[in-house]
Each structure stands twice: as C-alpha cells, then as structure tokens.
Amino acid sequence: MSERGARVAVRGDLLDFTGAPAWGETDSAAVRFRPDHWLLIEDGRIAGAQTEAPSEGWLRHDHAGRLILPGFIDTHVHSPQLDVIASYGTELLDWLTTHTFPAEARHADIAHTEATASCFLDALLAHGTTAAVVFPTVHKASVNALFAAAETRGMRVIAGKVLMDRNAPENLRDDVVTGGHDMEELIARWHGRARLAYAVTVRFAATSSPEQLALAGHLCAADPSLYMQTHVAENRAEVRWIKELFPAARSYLDVYADAGLLNGKSVFAHGIWLDDTDRAALAAAGAQIAHSPSSNLFLGSGLFGWRAAEQAGVNVSLASDVGGGTSLSMLRNMADAYKIQALAGERLTAWKALHAATRGAAHALGLGDEIGSLAVGSMADVCIWDRAAGPVAARRDVLARTLHEQVFAWMTLADERNLVAAYVAGESRYARVLSS
Ligand code: GUN
Ligand code: ZN
C-alpha cells in the first residue's frame, strides 16, 4: 500500500519524549503523552497532532486505544547474523569462530547477501525498528546490498564494510590497502545518499592491525561527517586478549582513542568492562555506548553499568546486537535491560529504556531533528502498537494505575506480536496481516 504524496492521519495515543528522563524518575516532564490524538503526516514528515478528526482531504487510519510511538532505533545489529541467532553453548570468542564467522563467510555470494539484506530490513520493520546502525560483513557486496535495500525502503541506515585484517579466517580477511579502497568506493557511492550514512566499521581491535586502525582513524579525521562503529570491552577474555595485543594502551577504549576513533560520531557496542577514566573519555568525546542487553545475557558477557555511564555523562542507546542478541525486538531488549539493572541493584524506568531506543539514540547520532520523536518536522517513521497481545497482558494492562505502570508492563510483556503497522517517511512498510 503506497501512500506517497498523501496526507495521512493516524489516530491513537501518542507517546514520545521532549527531553531526557532522569534516572529512576517514573513521573517525568520529559514524557509527552497525548491520548486520543490524530497524528498528521504530510510529504513523509510529521505535520502536527490534534484531538479533532482531520478534514476529508486526509486519509484516516483510526487506531483509537492503540499506542503510537516513533519507530525504534537499533544502534548496533549485524545483518548477516540473523542466521546465527540463538546458537548454543559459547561465550564471545568461541561464538565468533564457531558460529558467526562461517555465517559471514557465506556473504561472498552476492545472491545470498542481497537476499539476506532484504530479509533483514523487513525483519527490522516487522519488529517496529525503522532505523539502525548495522554491521554487514567484510565483503563490499554486503554493504552495497544493505544500502540498496535500505534505500528502496526509505530507511535511515548507518553502516559500513567490516574491517578485519588479522585474527580472522582467511576468507574473511581484508588488508590495509584493499580495505581502504573498498571504503573509498563505498563512501563515494552511499554516504549522504537518501537516508544513508557511512560508518567506518572496525569489527574490534583484535581483528585489525595497528596499521588498519590508523587508516580508519585517518579517514574519520579527514571527514567528520562519517560515523564510526566497533565493539569495546564486552567480555573478560576479550579484554585480556586486547591487553596482550596492545600492551602499551592504558585500556581497551584507549586503543581506539589512540587511533583517532573516539569522537562524537562513534558508536561503541557493549562497554561493560570500562573504568571511570574510560567513561569520562566517552563523555568528553560525545561518543555513545550501544547497550545490548539480550546479547550480554545470552553470551554471558556481563552486566552493563548504565547508571555509572549516566552519571559520567555518557550517551547510552539501546541495541539488539543480533545474532549475539536473541531478539530484534527493542521491547524484548528493554525488558532484558531492566533485568540487568535489577541484578545490579538498580531500577530502569520504562521512560529511560524507551528514550534510549528513540529520542536518546537519535540525539546521540546527531539525528534528533530527523528521527526518534513525533515532533513536527521529524520524518514520519512511526509505529502503531497494540497495548496487549493475549489475555495475560490485557488483564495486566487494565489494572495499571499510572501511565508509567501501564507503559512499563507493556514494555515488559510486549514484542513484535503487538506491532500493528510501521510507517517509514510516511509510507506503510509493515502491516500486520491478521489484525484484530
Ligand atoms: N565482537 C567482535 N565481533 C562481534 C560480533 O559479531 N558480535 C558481538 N556481540 N561482539 C563482537
Ligand atoms: Zn555486535
């Protein structure tokens, strides 16, 4: 169903943020809840919101009683790893060699990588995620396929060719020269086209030589509009290995900082095993941590210190990290994030979690005017959600006494089955087949 050029109005309970909710605050002025409003979408952007029904000229979709939120932003996810989601029995380093590298090697096949890219983006949309920061593979074709599929769908996608010139299987290794040429070509083709942006993509410090890290750093310095994405301090054995590989570095994060890879456009996945100095450096740079709760639990990596990051002023966004993560659903990941904080003796509010997957992620990416909110002028990346899927959630929903209680129960119990529709730039990109 194409609605290009149409003026579309969607009725429901609008929920987004006008600021960052404080830690532990269940009653927050940053929450904007507008029950029973019509959200107006014109030329792919949000044009307004009102309580009265819009006039005849608007194509109306009445979802009264349902929640309408900005599409979720997944700030760290691997497109080729759909094929290894839920793989048994390993921690990070074994998981990479046993499950992940073989799946990524299959992306040398262009037909396979193109089919995977489409499947992956459609799966994101079917989980209510309309924007993402993505790792494809080392293969140039995997990046071309992902960006082309994202452009077709009008999605905001940030991605780049994975750099890996050591400590990886032969069929997944590049080198400083070919990696550099591939990046140049991909940046020229995709960076700034449609809603796409290039991220210099260092898999992690263990799989790039110091020379390749330096090349990546030079590229970021030469063009500050480029993003940078990598993994940091995820797993204890990994941290020990990095110490062996870079004995002169003060910390794992400093390996990246020394190479010029720590800046306001850097997205660092995980950041579990950091210290105060690292957190201060992340905050000073305006970099972000893509907290990946279901992955951290599934791979047994550790409990992320969200509050310490918050207190240090570090931007924290939320990510699925599929296939280390066990669901593309940002709601499932929020529920896991709450449990991680509970194990650490902390409480994560629904506001903090939802903000990290919408406005917070958008701002940390420098895209606050485009995505992550229902503000007038934002791109109309919007999802419509059922409040409950099934009798247990429905019963819990009606018993909730406050908005936070209700939304927290929703966040904890909901998943992709609750998704009714997803719009990207005002276009319908997902519609549940069996609507109730
Ligand atoms: N560290 C290096 N590569 C990966 C990856 O693919 N997934 C996760 N979770 N951590 C990594
Ligand atoms: Zn990852």
pLDDT of res. 1:
40
Question: Residue 74: CB partners within 8 Å, gap ≥ 6?
Answer: 124, 129, 131, 132, 133, 318, 319, 320, 328, 330, 357
Neighbours of ion ligand 2 (CB under 5 A): 269, 321
Strand (E) or helix (H) holding 129: strand 129-135
Ligand 2 centre to CA of 119 (Å) is 19
Measured from the alpha carbon of residue 162, the closest ligand is 1
Q: Which ligand is nearest to the CA of 84?
A: 1
Ligand 2 centroid to residue 49 C-alpha, Å: 37
Ligand nearest to the CA of 301: 1
Asked if residue 392 lies in contact with residue 383, where contact means CB atoms within 8 angstroms, the answer is no
Return the ligand number nearest the Cα of 95. Answer: 1
Closest CA to 294 of 267, 328, 271: 328
User: pTM above 0.95?
Assistant: yes
Cβ proximity of 304 and 296 under 8 Å: yes
Residue nearest to atom 11 of ligand 1 (CA): 231
Residues touching ligand 1 (Cβ under 6 Å) are 78, 92, 96, 100, 203-204, 231, 234, 295, 321, 324
Atom of ligand 1 nearest to the CA of 78: 6
* Helices within 67-173 (DSSP H only): 92-95, 101-105, 110-126, 140-153
Placement of tokens 């002025």 in the chain: 29
**Contact (Cβ atoms closer than 8 angstroms) between residue 142 and residue 167:** no
From the number of C-beta atoms within 10 Å of its C-beta (0-12, 13-18, 19+), residue 1 rates as exposed
Angstrom CA distances, 205 to 70, 258, 397, stand at 34, 12, 46
Nearest atom in ligand 1 to 204's CA: 2
Instruction: Calculate how far, in angstroms, residue 413's C-alpha sits from the geometric centre of ligand 2.
Output: 25
Nearest to 313 by CA among 337, 280, 266, 338: 280
Position 266: which residue type? Answer: S
Task: Return d(Cα 281, Cα 285) in angstroms, integer.
Answer: 6
Query: What is the chain's pLDDT, residue by residue, as a tens digit (436 residues)?
Result: 445 458 999 999 999 999 999 999 999 999 999 999 999 999 999 999 999 999 999 999 999 999 999 999 999 999 999 999 999 999 999 999 999 999 999 999 999 999 999 999 999 999 999 999 999 999 999 999 999 999 999 999 999 999 999 999 999 999 999 999 999 999 999 999 999 999 999 999 999 999 999 999 999 999 999 999 999 999 999 999 999 999 999 999 999 999 999 999 999 999 999 999 999 999 999 999 999 999 999 999 999 999 999 999 999 999 999 999 999 999 999 999 999 999 999 999 999 999 999 999 999 999 999 999 999 999 999 999 999 999 999 999 999 999 999 999 999 999 999 999 999 999 999 999 865 4
Looking at residue 183, its pLDDT comes to: 98
Residue 400's pLDDT is what?
97
Read off the tokens for 359. Answer: 């406005």
CA of 133 to the centre of ligand 2 (A): 10
User: How far apart (Å, rounded) are the C-alpha atoms in residues 58 and 55?
Assistant: 6
d(CA 311, CA 434): 45
Q: Which of 94, 146, 156 is nearest to 371 (CA)?
A: 156
Work out which ligand 1 atom sits closest to the CA atom of 135.
Answer: 6
> What is the per-residue pLDDT for 352?
98
DSSP state of 399: H
Testing ligand 1's pocket by substitution, the residue of 83, 90, 100, 202 carrying the most ligand atoms inside 8 A of its CB is 100
Long-range CB pairs of 24-31 (<8 Å, 24+ gap) are: 24/347, 24/349, 25/349, 25/351, 26/349, 26/351, 26/402, 26/404, 27/402, 27/404, 28/349, 28/351, 30/351, 30/355, 31/351, 31/403
Q: Can you point out the beta strands (E) in 275-431?
A: 288-291, 315-318, 382-385, 419-424, 427-431
How confident is the model at residue 6, as a pLDDT? 82
Please tell me the predicted confidence (pLDDT) of residue 2. 44
